[in-house]
Chains A and B, each alone.
Chain A
Amino acid sequence: MHIPDGILPIGVTAAGYAATAAVTWYSLHKVKQKEDPRQDIPKASLMTAAFFVVSLIHIPIPPTSVHLVLNGLMGALLGYYAFPAILIGLFFQAVMFGHGGLTTLGVNAIIMGLPAIIAAYIFRLRKIGNKESPRKDGVFGFLAGFVALGLSVAMFVAILLTSLPADLNAAVEQTAIFALAIAHLPLMLIEGVITAFLVIFLRRVRPAMLSSL
């Protein structure tokens, strides 16, 4: 779900870089407000590498297979580190595997990274009320994963269809949006379910990871 090079006009790619610079600056500004921001850098870095590797796992969904995006979980676990982590991950994906692109790095970072920050806030909502439970973590984990991927898909489709260097008629555009939404709904559900399972797993095995960054 990364936009490759060659499709978007220069105005959109430049705006993507400008927006990414602004969000990265704000994320780093929030990170630096911590007592010792250095302490979290190795954690955020290794988690960046781990998310990158996990995103290479292909899950069989007959007749094809899908890979996880996990930007919702990144937001939930990394907080404001999620945006720079996603930017770095996308850079490595572009130069190592040719996924995404160099001119579209900014746009893709916004598509993946902004929903991750929103997912971080969604996941924090689990602290409302005084009773914590695995089920509550699971529900908010599901919402974080489901909503983050849903927002990413919506932004991806909107940017792609409005930036194509050709005019599509309204009927074709509506069909494309409908088809992409239907195609991605199972993926959003799978992403939500796996994020929920992961959150419950981490709560059991290493609860500190859910509130460390």
Chain B
Amino acid sequence: MKLGIDEYASLNSPLHRWDARYKLVGLIILVFAFSFLRDLRMLLAMVLVTAAIYIVSGLPARFILRWLRFPSFIILVIVLTLPFLSGETVIANLGPLALHQEGLLAALLIAVRFVCIVTVGITLLGTTPLLNSIKAMRALGLPLIMVDMALLAFRYLHELGQDLGRMLTSMRLRGFRQHSFSPAGLKTFAWLSGSLLVRSYERSEWVYKAMILRGYGQSSRPQGEFKTHPADVFILVAVALTAAALVAGDILLGHNIAAILQ
């Protein structure tokens, strides 16, 4: 199981040095501003902002290409079918299929927003170790139960993934054909899943005892984990102003992807 979003978190760039709390707030502002945009010209501006952020991050190109290489199946289906299923203005005929301008623009809007939101999200989360991002969420007020659950789940994801790999190997060695379907196979998959759940449940009992011995539950929200520097605030203000400019530009231009054609 590959858990690689923060594999380049140890690089040194302004985004890597940015306080994780401010980075999360900036990320939320930016991705929601992106999801607001509809004007074709502002989509171009969004692409430029995204490219600038990625370049500043110093992350290698292959990192983001790995994330975008297999876009979501739903995105593919929508982007490939909308131009033929939606709209009234026919701009081309491809055999029995008519290509519609409205559907094409909607597909373009979805594809560009998808790429930009994913790129910005991966860039900002990929420049901080994931554990630090979760701690930043705690500092921003995420309920402690959620934080504890996220940290513990993250801690054991990799181990349980290895457990699953070992169990699948054992099953194959005993003759189980993982890639062929049979009703009895469903029961085997259920028992495999059940065994993993039972192992996790039993392990959780030991973990709880170990945590209690170490004083779990005695401390409240940790203080002083993060320290604000003027540069952190400056970058957040710059990001917020950029997001505000994109949204304002979109509203002024008509908040419509086809505005440029009208």
Encode B166-180 as 1/0 by CB contact (under 8 A) with A: 000000000000111
Measured between beta carbons, the chain A residues less than 8 angstroms from B75 are: 4, 6-7
Out of B67, B117, B130, B211, which one reaches A103, CB within 8 Å? B117
- Cα of A46 to Cα of B203 in the assembled complex, Å: 8
- Provide the main secondary structure of the chain B interface: helix
Measured between beta carbons, the chain A residues less than 8 angstroms from B189 are: 57, 59, 68, 194
Measured between beta carbons, the chain A residues less than 8 angstroms from B216 are: 38
- Cα of A96 to Cα of B243 in the assembled complex, Å: 26
Are A49 and B164 interface neighbours, CB within 8 A?
A: no
- Cα of A42 to Cα of B202 in the assembled complex, Å: 10
Out of A41, A102, A165, which one reaches B145, CB within 8 Å? A41
Mark the stretch among A8-16, A120-128, A129-137, A147-155 that contacts chain B: A8-16
Number of B interface residues at 8 Å Cβ cutoff, please give it: 87
Residue of A whose beta carbon sits closest to that of B5: A95
Are A102 and B217 interface neighbours, CB within 8 A?
A: no
Are A10 and B200 interface neighbours, CB within 8 A?
A: no
Interface residues of A in 11-60 (CB under 8 A from B): 13-14, 24, 28, 31-32, 37-39, 41-54, 56-57, 59-60
The yes or no answer to B192 lying at the interface (CB within 8 A) is yes
Binding site for A on B (CB under 8 A): 1-5, 27, 31-32, 34-36, 38, 67, 70-72, 74-75, 78, 82, 85-87, 102-103, 106-107, 109-118, 121-122, 125, 130, 143, 145-146, 148-157, 160-161, 163-164, 178-181, 185-187, 189-194, 196-205, 207-208, 211, 216-217, 257
Binding site for B on A (CB under 8 A): 2-10, 13-14, 24, 28, 31-32, 37-39, 41-54, 56-57, 59-62, 65, 68, 70, 77, 81, 84-85, 87-89, 91-92, 94-96, 98-99, 101-103, 160, 164-168, 172, 190, 193-194, 197-198, 201-202, 205-206, 209
